[in-house]
Amino acid sequence: MRVRDEERQPSLQADLTPLINIVFLMLVFFMLAGSLRPGDDIQPASIDSDRAVDDGLLVISVDREGWARVDGAAVNDESLLVLLEEQQARGGRAGIRPDARLEAQRLVEVTDLLRKAGFEQMVLVAQAR
């Protein structure tokens, strides 16, 4: 009986090395190829454009209820205006990333806020089609 048990055990031990290799490769792939999603539940609208989003752009996401979000945190229009004025004073640029289900009039309101802060040019950020 004892001899039999010893015989059985090695056949049950699967070699885990190929599995670990593949898991490591997948881990490296996801770490390098993906970017971490911002912490909001915005479904960005989509556009046919090949212009990349500039680095250093202050992106204001607007969720489907119309709340403006900067770095995932909701801000009211007054605080947003202050943030925008600071960005304008630094000579930076600003962009709006609206949810596809948002009412378009709210987007126009947010562009008006940007104008109030002194931006003459602005960009709309959306998912590439």
Partner 1 sequence: MNFQLQQKRSRLLISLTPLIDVVFILLLFFMLASNFSVENSLAVQARPGEGTVAEDRQAPAGLIVLDRDHYELDGVEYGTRELAESLARLLEMKPDLALSIRVGKAARVQALLDVIALADDMGIARVTMESSTP
Point out which residues bind partner 1 (CB under 8 A).
16, 20, 23-24, 26-27, 30-31, 33-37, 44-54, 57, 95, 97-105, 107-109, 111-112, 114-116, 119-128
Q: Which amino acid is at 58?
A: L
Alpha-carbon span 66 to 88, nearest angstrom: 23
Q: How far is residue 63's CA from residue 54's CA, in Å, rounded to a whole number? A: 21
Helix (H, G, I), strand (E, B) or coil at 61: strand
Smallest gap from Cβ 49 to partner 1, in A, equals 4
Q: How far apart are CA 76 and CA 65, in angstroms?
A: 12
Least Å from the CB of residue 114 to partner 1: 6
Identify which of residues 4 and 77 has a Cβ nearer to partner 1 in the complex.
77
Min CB(1)–partner 1 separation in Å: 26
Q: Which is nearer to partner 1, 48 or 78 (CB)?
A: 48
Query: From CA 63, how far away is CA 100, in angstroms rounded?
Result: 9
